[in-house]
Structure 1
Amino acid sequence: MTKSTNRVYLSISAVLAVMLLLLTACGGNGAAVDNNKIGEDAADDVLELSIMTITPSAVPAADDNVIKRAIEKATHSKMSIQWVSNNVYTDKLNLTLASGDIPDLIMINDPFNSTFTKMVSQGAFWNITPYVKDYPKLVNGIPANAWETTKASDGNNYGIPRPRPVTGESFFIIRKDWLDKLGLEVPDTTDELFAAMQAFVERDPDGNGKKDTTALAAYISPDDLGWGGNIGPVLGAIESSFTGVNGHWKWDETHNSLVYTALLPETRESLLYLSKAYKAGMMPEDLLSLKLNQARELFKRNQAGIIVDKTGTMRNIYADELKKVDPNFKYTDFYPLTNLNGYNPKGSGYNGILAIPKSVPEDKMKRILKLIDTWMNEEVFNIQRFGLEGIHYKVVDGKKVVDEEKRKADNASDFNHIVNVIHLPVEKAEGTEEEVAASELFEKVELERDKTSVPDIAAGLQSETGKAILPDLNKKMQDLKAKIIIGRESIEAWDAFVNEIKEDERFKAMTSEMTAAYKKRTGQ
């Protein structure tokens, strides 16, 4: 073989190698990934990282999941994902943080979790504030208020907020078909809600001839300490509908100070209301032992008529299961309330944060930020949004027709618990007439909610005294509220508790510190 022939073979080999590299870097499986735009790292080594996050699915995505593999290919990564059930995530998170063996990227469901904030103060997590500006999707794809309200007490961000529309906060969703059958209007006050709940218990809304339905798919869990008045999303939404407050703090113009909601007379009223509802069988008898997924099962099995959740969860979590039990159920029967007593909560703009421990070297930390930034590109995020062409959807007349059963079976939406994108250009998959009607209903409700929604005015504000006393205070409050609701304690026990904390010097100090932080933020 001559030298000239050798050169020809080498040239052909080089061309083939380049072609192979380009083909490997291309986003396949229906994800139209433009490497000129998002594949700058294609020549680098594959980014290998470990991740821990929530899954709402009973069976989480496997390591060789087709959606996962497509996202890995598009982002030039290899992810080892530890999926943890919603039911036990807080416990698992605390154990993981305490162990010191922390994944490269970990979802912190509450950025003000006492364990996490303590570790942040000890330097255990990366301060990503100086780096974020280099990643345009992180800057522009996440609401500014989400970055603001997830800042630590030193004013820095120690995690990437998982964005959520401010109109997408969990609120009441009711069985409209049950209301219609019983001749009831959609409630918009707590009195009307009570009447609907009473009817759901006493008047056989499922038509099986038995008095076997409850009204409210509620639960009280230690996982919800510090949220929903310490009694969780369902019962906390009722308390907030009495107080008109989203969160724990209300601004008192008369005294020029924040007031803790436990001190409000409306909180006492809500406890009397909930106690009366529990006694009448309007919520599960085993309220204190249920977990989130078990409460959801009541709704899925046609045994409860009201739940608190996001409008967008209708199809993925509940509706298809309900149709198996009640074939007459329509997606529009899953009816979100606009307001209750004129109240609905404005979202914080985020749902948890993604944090990177300091055990990760700086160069790898930057590559993880780049991974998230790349994943937030529409063409990559669409992999989990619609699935893969030819597997989860087909294109008919220019529109994606999605096989939702297949998409759900492949855990597509689970990946939203790592990376989520909001405010994408409108690109709706083609659906049935029923699906389109439901989407229009939910969009209408969210627009109406946006007109009157109440923000959490203290979101992101911190008190050093509060960090010390709130873990114990929240636990005591949840325990006492739960006992009053199920009838083991009287309302007078609540009165005594309120009088006690009002006189506690540490409680007073926390209130002063929170008020000062609020005034500083609002320029007072």
Structure 2
Amino acid sequence: MANSKFKKVTVILLAICIIASFALSACLKTSDSGKTDNSSANNQVTTGNSNASQSQQEKPYEFSIFRSTWTDLDEDNDLIINEINKRLNVKIRILTAPYETWIEKYNILITSGDVPDLSVTTGPGTLNFNDWAKQGIFLEIKDLYEKHCPNIQKYLSDDIIKAHLINGGLYGIPKPSLSDSTFAIRADWLRKLNMEMPKTLDDVYQVLKAFRDNDPDGNNQNDTYGLCSEDTLNTINFVFSAFGVHCPPTDATKWVPDGNGKLTSNILEPGVKDAIIYVTKLYRDKILDQEWMLTKSQAYLDKVHSGKAGVLSTGFGSMLVSESNIKANDPSCELAIMEGITGPEGKFVRPMQTGFYMVSSISSKATNPVKILEFLDFLMSDEGDKLIRYGIEGITYTMKDGKPVVNMEEAKKYGIESGHKFRQILQPPVISIPQEDPRVPELLEMSKVLFEGPFYPAPTLQPESLKEVITQQGPDYVKNAVTMIITGDKDPGEEWDKFIEEWRKTGGDKLIQEINELYEANK
């Protein structure tokens, strides 16, 4: 899409109010495929409880939902799923897989013909989504969406919908989303070591070194990390931002402006090499966790929650939840936002955003697609949002002065201290922060920057030759190369230059040419 179109996204997102409220924040799980007939397919769900009573005589419509990382969801005993089942007269079954294997598992479902009724995936331009849509695996829902999803349409701009059309058809509903990602630092450790909040990468280096060496947790053991990361390096993105880089080099298919009106690969942004050199220094000086390249997402969280990391990846809306989790192991923990770290040239950029995250698609074999759309729209209603954000009044929260106050102990009991996992399907793009903490006003003020972007100019476009190039280069080609450079013993700058040359020759230049042709055609 053109830049002008995505300016509209920013305007619309700016109009969304920021809500200060109490944050709540294996394998493949098999189930019935949800092909139950239902005579009320054309009835639209309302947001009141009266709908449930009207449907009591009807057999609940059973359908399956696939989404990665839901391995701990038990649909038979989940408080929120059971409540949704009751209110909407449905029976939801969960299909899932760990983050590290979900693509493989989902591909097996597709090729076997056992397509989930509702799939939450990365959407157009990724995986084989466009081919699956053209093959009729997903249902074309443009007219149904316009008729049955009024709550979603309040938050989802026409430009984002247009960006997801494939040959004029809509094969999935994107979740409107602003990434509130940021970084937090152990403020209690800074105080103990008599150090100031770092402002530059040089400051960060000295602080992290002290966190590693000077026993900031006071247990007389050498067991604290300066910095830990998962294998994608997304969790230390502040380093790349300080070199003017909009996203870490985990792959080469994030298309960013080249400064001359065209698009280029994210790995060709001018500051990437210097950022890798800096990360290499952190690793070789043993300030960065020496096992970062083996650390997956859950293992990273485990390390962070152990209370042994000085800087962690979090969000403006989830920092206080992160702090609460760490306090279970280190009661003295106090976090503070570490934002705007600048590099040697004084640069700082925020990570680039798409304006959406993940896409919900309905199988063409689903017997009641309208009922599934009504479920999706319910999640974006005031009633549905309140349910997945806070839980059930009298159980996980109470109302005080007209605002929800969460019982954190009960919320943790039901696994919704950061909200229910269904918020990962659809949820209004608002920032939710515990309102009784004195740091909330500052966090809310800081989070306003999220509405300014920057936004990717063409988030759903991908070159025609992408699959061919990925096959030639091999899986995780970029990520593996970055790992080898950082953990190797050669000059990282020289090795990066060699890698870029190889990437260009093995299809990179062809991809850049094709993405710009698409970009021009879609302006």
- Indicate the TM-score class for this superposition, using the shorter chain for normalisation: 0.7 to 0.9
Q: Which has the larger radius of gyration?
A: 1
Aligned to 1:405: 409
- Residues 219, 291 of structure 1: 8 Å contact kept: yes
Quick one: distance in 1 between partners of 2:445 and 2:491?
Answer: 42
Quick one: distance in 2 between partners of 1:156 and 1:462?
Answer: 17
Distance 1:66 1:293, change over 3 A: same
- Residues 376, 419 of structure 1: 8 Å contact kept: no
- Residues 175, 356 of structure 2: 8 Å contact kept: yes
Aligned to 2:8: none
Quick one: distance in 2 between partners of 1:437 and 1:418?
Answer: 28
- Residues 274, 485 of structure 1: 8 Å contact kept: yes
Q: How does 1:210-359 map to 2 (within 5 A)?
A: 210-220=221-231, 231-246=232-247, 248-254=254-260, 256-316=261-321, 318-330=322-334, 333-338=335-340, 340=342, 341-359=347-365
- Aligned pair count? 465
- Residues 107, 353 of structure 1: 8 Å contact kept: yes
1:444 aligns with 2:445: yes
Aligned to 1:191: 202
User: Among 94, 100, 103, which residue is 2:107 paired with?
Assistant: 94
1:360 aligns with 2:362: no
Aligned to 2:428: 422
1:269 CA displacement = 1.1
1:273 CA displacement = 0.9
Instruction: Give the structure-2-normalised TM-score.
Output: 0.79
Quick one: distance in 2 between partners of 1:427 and 1:244?
Answer: 28
Bigger shift: residues 403-412 or 137-146: 137-146
Answer 1 or 2: higher relative contact order, Cα 8 Å, separation at least 6: 2
Quick one: distance in 1 between partners of 2:181 and 2:458?
Answer: 18
Distance 1:502 1:386, change over 3 A: closer
Aligned to 1:390: 394
Deviations 1:50-96 (A, max 9, x none): 1122346x743441322211111222211112344445434433333
Aligned partner of 2:128: which letter?
A: T
Aligned to 1:484: 485
Quick one: distance in 2 between partners of 1:459 and 1:503?
Answer: 25
1:294 CA displacement = 0.7
Aligned to 1:170: 181
* SS of residue paired to 1:304: coil
Quick one: distance in 2 between partners of 1:399 and 1:350?
Answer: 28
Quick one: distance in 1 between partners of 2:109 and 2:519?
Answer: 33
1:41 CA displacement = 6.5
Quick one: distance in 2 between partners of 1:208 and 1:415?
Answer: 36
Distance 1:389 1:261, change over 3 A: closer
1:145 CA displacement = 4.9
Deviations 1:460-495 (A, max 9, x none): 122102243146546221111101111255433322
Structure 1 vs Structure 2 CA RMSD: 3.1
* SS of residue paired to 2:293: coil
Distance 1:393 1:289, change over 3 A: same
Aligned partner of 1:319: which letter?
A: E
Quick one: distance in 2 between partners of 1:217 and 1:93?
Answer: 30
Distance 1:132 1:59, change over 3 A: closer
Bigger shift: residues 471-480 or 208-217: 471-480
- Residues 54, 417 of structure 1: 8 Å contact kept: no
Identity among equivalent positions (%) equals 23
Unpaired runs of 5+ in structure 1? 1-26, 221-230
* SS of residue paired to 1:211: coil
Deviations 1:319-360 (A, max 9, x none): 222112222224xx2425246532112532222111112222
Unpaired runs of 5+ in structure 2? 1-44, 248-252
Quick one: distance in 2 between partners of 1:502 and 1:72?
Answer: 51
Aligned partner of 2:455: which letter?
A: P
Aligned to 1:466: 466
Distance 1:98 1:205, change over 3 A: farther
Aligned partner of 2:171: which letter?
A: Y
Of Structure 1 and Structure 2, the greater helix share is in: 1
Distance 1:207 1:439, change over 3 A: same
Deviations 1:17-76 (A, max 9, x none): xxxxxxxxxx9xxx983537x9886775422111122346x7434413222111112222
- Residues 170, 233 of structure 1: 8 Å contact kept: no
